[in-house]
Structure 1
Amino acid sequence: MEPSLPLEGFTVAVTADRRSEEQKLMLTRLGIDVFHAPTIKTIPVGDDDRLRALTEEVIARPPDFLVANTGLGIRSWFGLASSWGLDQALRNALSSARIAARGPKAAGAIGIAGLDLWWRAKSERLATVGDRLAEEGVAGKRVALQLHGDGRQELTAQLQEQGAEVIEIPVYRWVVPEDDGPVQRLITLCSEGAIDAVTFTAAPAVRNLIEMAELTGRARQLLRALNGGILVACVGPVCSAAALDEGITDPVTPEHWRLGSLVRLVSEELAARRRQLGAVDGQLVLQGSVLRGAAIEAVRLSSRERVILACLAERPGAAVGRHVLMRRAWDERDVDPHALEAVIGRLRAKLGEHSGLIETVHRRGYRLSTAG
């Protein structure tokens, strides 16, 4: 099969709320099925009196430094300031500050606001900004810190320990979605082997998923699935670090920490997971839940059928024990062996004239024929 074929049959779970439609569109254009289960929700502060008061304080007492954390935060802050008639006053107050941006999006928002950038962290880590400010010296200085929505603000304490006066600017909050139905369904689909990849575009999205699994007693089950073959793709190193902290052993991150690069990495990784099965008159290809070939129409497999066929395809020609197949497909200790036989029967029926690819190994299990 040519790698340019669409990725029909693969399913990717998208956990983002912001820009999720853009991500879904890019994935579906590749033939990928998308399951949207947002594990995070962005709540703007809106016309909160506290934010307006903080803005007026910044205008009255301009800071020596401004830490631009996120593009969304800077854009939203200036948008709200404009609605209050304070945008020009805020721009004037910040014009003399040394402005450090965590990454290119925040830097771009600073430029759009009509301000000059002093320094940008190439690592896109907030801790790197803190290190740069420490080198510059912040003792006795006033630092305005535009917060992300996580609530974990280690930089504030770090700057205060160095003698800085920190004014925190909260523009939005990240919360767990009120409706956890899609997330709970995602956990089930991961455990059933129906998900090929999960994407994360924010560290809290990873933490929220594990937390929501813990609430229903399924965190261990979910982690076993995520570490058992599902591709976990994180948009950048901060997100990836959160995944590692939560027990996800092998998250992948694109070289360029952008949404388009994330989707491209996912598509490349999934394309590499196509499995070719030996056939008498050509090649059959298993990609996710679809079995396709030159001589047959695409056949859609159930989650257990695809798990069992993929397990057999891992070692063509080698016998795979019934207990191994049952553990992989059911994730349970007590499974009726006849259930496995029924799935094998349905697989053979879907293979049609190629049903002989799945051979029974007497008293042991099954194997995938290597006959060409």
Structure 2
Amino acid sequence: MIDVPAGVLSGFRIAVTSQRRSTELIEALQRRGATVLHAPTLSIAPLEGDEELLARTRRVLEIRPDYVVVCTAYGFRRWFECAEAAGMGDELAEVFRSAKIHVRGPKALGAVRALGFDAESMAADELTGTLVAELAPDLQGKSVVLQHHGYFDTEATAALLRAGATEVVKISPYRWVPPADPSKLEVLVRALCAGSLDVLTFTSAPAVHALLDAARLHNLKDELLAALQSSLCTVAVGPVTAAPLRALGIEPLVPERHRMGAMIRTLVEHLGANGSMECVTMLGLCQLRGDTIHLEGVGGQYELGDSQLRIFKALLAAGGNVVARPALAALLPEGSSDHALDMAVSRLRRALPDARLISTVVKRGYRLNT
């Protein structure tokens, strides 16, 4: 067996798209050896001083709603903190105690309980649509407060009204806004399209939509979708985050417990079982983990650039069989000419501990020397 470095994610390049709690996620990945590209697709803008939020809170105090639907832990906490800062905390607490509170998932449930309130129920699959459907038979003639994420949930609002709710007050204690540095988002889109990353992580559904919007802005939507539907490993923290990916035909990894720690464990287990490629060569067992080559009996690790990596993956997957020149040339972003391919293979040989690892098959292509 090859002696792989202690970091279980060593050699893998992982993109983090979140802003909130990103430091915690990045440090956890880096401790395990990963190289991390941090490119927030959105930023959270709190609304503590937003007059619209305060006006909606006053309306909640006026109508004394029958139901309160809580979709996010962060949003519920921020709403209560904002109300307290504006001198409405005690009145809002009375509303929560008299209303029937229903929550989307365990994090929202934890936030409700942490503030001293009780919840009547939680959606079985942690989806807002499911929760609304479960409440629908009891909503005729009732007033409802919907605390939701930073994108206004028009579908949930419409469903509540169709169920007979007399009024739905929408509460969003924060909103999603473009990232502070949009150039990082462009770098992420281009890196994904170029095949320069192994893993893409998401912790919110709006982040998925924002990435697609950025790709459209740079005329790279088709290339991005092709990358997401290829061998790239996409990870979502829970089913809500996974929903827009699944709508695109992309099945992400989703942990059983929808928490960041569980997401990291799921990723580690997946890459440990599926994230490496290997083949026995003239230099012994060769293993590719992310962008790093490990060779049995040869000291050191050998990192490859993007074009070199695409070619080497194709050769390694062939297991010593010839890979035709046109197939290899099609992997190169700089063009499919014979000269471009020959130069790319030359650079790849120089990056390896022994250039003889790659054999030229005249007029046909290249192969690993097994």
TM-score (norm: length of structure 2)? 0.93
**Structure-2 separation of matches of 1:2 and 1:99:** 54
8 Å Cα contact 1:277-1:286 kept in structure 2? no
Q: Aligned letter for 1:150?
A: Y
- What corresponds to 2:225 in structure 1? 223
8 Å Cα contact 1:15-1:205 kept in structure 2? yes
8 Å Cα contact 1:70-1:148 kept in structure 2? yes
- What corresponds to 2:252 in structure 1? 251
Q: Aligned letter for 1:151?
A: F
**Structure-1 separation of matches of 2:363 and 2:207:** 46
> Which aligned pairs between 1:114-133 and structure 2 lie closer than 5 A?
114-133=116-135
- What corresponds to 2:81 in structure 1? 79
Q: Aligned letter for 1:299?
A: Y
Residues 300 and 2 from structure 1, CA distance in 2 versus in 1: closer, same or farther, beyond 3 angstroms? Answer: closer
> Which aligned pairs between 1:1-372 and structure 2 lie closer than 5 A?
1=2, 5-6=6-7, 7-135=9-137, 137-164=138-165, 165-245=167-247, 247-271=248-272, 272-280=274-282, 282-293=284-295, 294-330=297-333, 334-353=335-354, 355-370=355-370
Deviation at 1:321, TM superposition (A): 0.9
Q: Aligned letter for 1:200?
A: F
- Which SS does the other structure have where 2:113 is aligned? helix
8 Å Cα contact 1:198-1:232 kept in structure 2? yes
C-alpha deviations, 1:3-41, integer Å up to 9, x for none? 774222210011111111111011111100000111111
Q: Aligned letter for 2:144?
A: V
C-alpha deviations, 1:97-137, integer Å up to 9, x for none? 110000111111111111111111131100111012113x1
Structure 1 vs Structure 2: percent identity of aligned residues?
A: 36
8 Å Cα contact 1:91-1:113 kept in structure 2? no
What runs of 5+ residues in structure 1 fail to find an aligned partner? Answer: none
8 Å Cα contact 1:361-1:367 kept in structure 2? yes
Q: Aligned letter for 2:285?
A: Q
What runs of 5+ residues in structure 2 fail to find an aligned partner? Answer: none
8 Å Cα contact 2:282-2:357 kept in structure 1? no
**Structure-2 separation of matches of 1:342 and 1:267:** 35
Deviation at 1:289, TM superposition (A): 1.4
Deviation at 1:366, TM superposition (A): 0.7
Q: Aligned letter for 1:217?
A: N
Q: Aligned letter for 1:10?
A: F
**Structure-2 separation of matches of 1:267 and 1:86:** 45
8 Å Cα contact 1:11-1:195 kept in structure 2? yes
Deviation at 1:96, TM superposition (A): 1.3
Deviation at 1:352, TM superposition (A): 2.5
Deviation at 1:310, TM superposition (A): 0.7
